[in-house]
Structure 1
């Protein structure tokens, strides 16, 4: 399995060699005195067109205020020469502040899952405000808003979906967890779930539970579980060309 991980790292590194952090502008969203730093990729194309909006949520290790660490994993795959030519899109990568989270959930030991709390976290509230602002100020195709995230961002992906089920056209949660009791409310959203079979940080059972709940609710989600892979399942997820092609085909 070490050879598989080495292969994934090499493939990812080769693809990202074309991508540059400078392609993402530095931005700040302000709402009632609260701020959310984010980086934004804008397509080099006709600004009169409408473009998909990809919302990328990083993991817990990239929290902070440097407005840079969130570019470490995953999101740079959207900024390669190949993907920018094939799938021009507006991509935003917000940064969650230290000691805060994208999701607001409580572990439910009885169901071995999560229970969505009534109020969103402050970063999630700000993120939704940012999306609403971009809908009005940028050429966003509101029928093609996608959300994805890894680890803490995987939790955030489910959180955003379950709180705002009519906002997103598709989702790719990677090694995350959500409230399976709300699966029916998001069954209409196309989804591709990724996890590692030996993840020591976010047990693969969370992803499997959501997959089963969605399927029971009538959805047809994609599900990829990498054998003998731990927490770094995002190395395969974001370098998967089939997933990228699938994502950009989705619309409301």
Structure 2
């Protein structure tokens, strides 16, 4: 059912150069015997074979409103493409029939006749009901549209003619078009296009902006190599986001996505495949920061301020303002699987611009973020790179979404991390017990918890004993026959022979 040729990628750089700017003009075309209107923005002297973006307004809005909200002019001037803002009849769109499908087809032909646009690079976007119309276009005329980018408006899969690249943008507090229900609808496209079930998540997005309210989820490996993306803006209501100070410029994000796609791949080179980060994994992913910071999230809280990125195979944090707690600057990796009673070792390399303390924790990824360590680990980081490590036992129930956290909110300056490893390991031997031969005996009668060791000093676990008479029964049930070394919380040691 789907058919798609080469995908590609070109780079858009907003350079400080003189640009040939144009202006928006009103235009009318006849469609099915009716006059339909639109605003057209074309950069002055636009070359032939340049892309076309059609962006549709929301219900009870119009083309001038959408043009002012989306501010495409500077992007179009730099990247050299045409933008059309059509007007829906009665300020609405026919999202179930062919009336506006025919309008979109007529716009494409009109722009080809006037500007010689590249019909292989036509992109459709829209806000609210215009976003819903974008999905309708994908279903009805996907063989003429290279990619769609709906904003705050969804639509289901209905026999599309080919796999469709989709960039969907939505605010979490949208009270007009519900965020959760629209995301579920988007995932229908993910399933229909046979995308990978393991998505890549970037939060905050972009990763170079720690305070951003935006996050990006990417489903790759879809039919014919397309991608489906969800750009979520936390706390955003039902409007078109252009606030780069706290999130993203939606129009820039749309262009940087759709420009990767063409119906025939003309003049574009294939994009690199997205990196898929597995969930429920037992080891750290990308602990060497070989090419990017994928799988790592930098979070700041309170008044703390920091930026970070992977450079030269290392992750460098630049902390400009500290918080009141170490965790207020955190580099974390979650989706880690920790198994109850298993021992683990964490190791990493670190160096700082000035001597400082670094707190490391292993904890729940969700509220209440309970630590799985007896106590958080603190390391003295100097100006020379050194390796640090520690072991811990997972004593809580198995957690498939735990996280490793580097908490760096205690000092300003730079901190560089590399070679981060979390791996299973054997229980450590206790140097206080190794070689010690306490007398054979029984435990005290008071209720107490005892650490249990082999004679070589290897910690085997714990046992809670309420009375001396049950000691052998409890040890045999949990550890089997043998000779065990028991140590109480106050350090008292005794041997016990289980027959």
TM-score computed with the length of structure 2 as normaliser: 0.38
**Shift of residue 99 of structure 1?**
5.6
SS state at 1:125 partner: helix
Counterpart of 2:238 in structure 1 is 231
**1:9-48 mapped onto 2 (5 Å cutoff):** 23-45=23-45, 47=47
**Shift of residue 69 of structure 1?**
3.5
**Shift of residue 187 of structure 1?**
6.1
How many residue pairs end up in the alignment? 207
**Shift of residue 251 of structure 1?**
1.2
Q: Deviations over 1:109-156 (max 9, x none)?
A: xxxxxxxxxx32x33432322223333443111110000000010011
**1:84-233 mapped onto 2 (5 Å cutoff):** 84-98=76-90, 100-104=92-96, 119-120=97-98, 122-180=99-157, 182=158, 185=160, 188-217=163-192, 218=194, 219=222, 220-233=227-240
SS state at 1:140 partner: coil
Distance 1:46 1:240 in 2: 20
Instruction: Return the structure number with greater helix share.
Output: 1
Larger-gyration structure (1/2)? 2
Distance 1:177 1:38 in 2: 23
SS state at 2:164 partner: coil
- In the alignment, does 2:256 pair up with 1:245? yes
- Please tell me the root mean square deviation across aligned C-alpha atoms, in Å: 2.5
Q: Deviations over 1:14-44 (max 9, x none)?
A: xxxxxxxx81111011134301110111122
Distance 1:222 1:204 in 2: 15
Distance 1:242 1:126 in 2: 26
Q: Report if the CA contact (8 A) 2:156-2:188 is conserved.
A: no
Distance 1:194 1:161 in 2: 16
Q: Report if the CA contact (8 A) 1:174-1:237 is conserved.
A: no
Q: Report if the CA contact (8 A) 2:37-2:87 is conserved.
A: yes
Q: Report if the CA contact (8 A) 1:100-1:123 is conserved.
A: no
Q: 1:79 aligns with which of 73, 81, 86?
A: 73
Aligned pair in 2 of structure 1 residues 69, 187: CA closer, same or farther (>3 Å)? same
Q: Report if the CA contact (8 A) 1:57-1:153 is conserved.
A: yes
Q: Deviations over 1:161-188 (max 9, x none)?
A: 11111111111011112123x2x63662
Counterpart of 1:62 in structure 2 is 61
Q: Report if the CA contact (8 A) 1:194-1:237 is conserved.
A: no
**Shift of residue 204 of structure 1?**
1.1
Q: Report if the CA contact (8 A) 1:155-1:178 is conserved.
A: yes
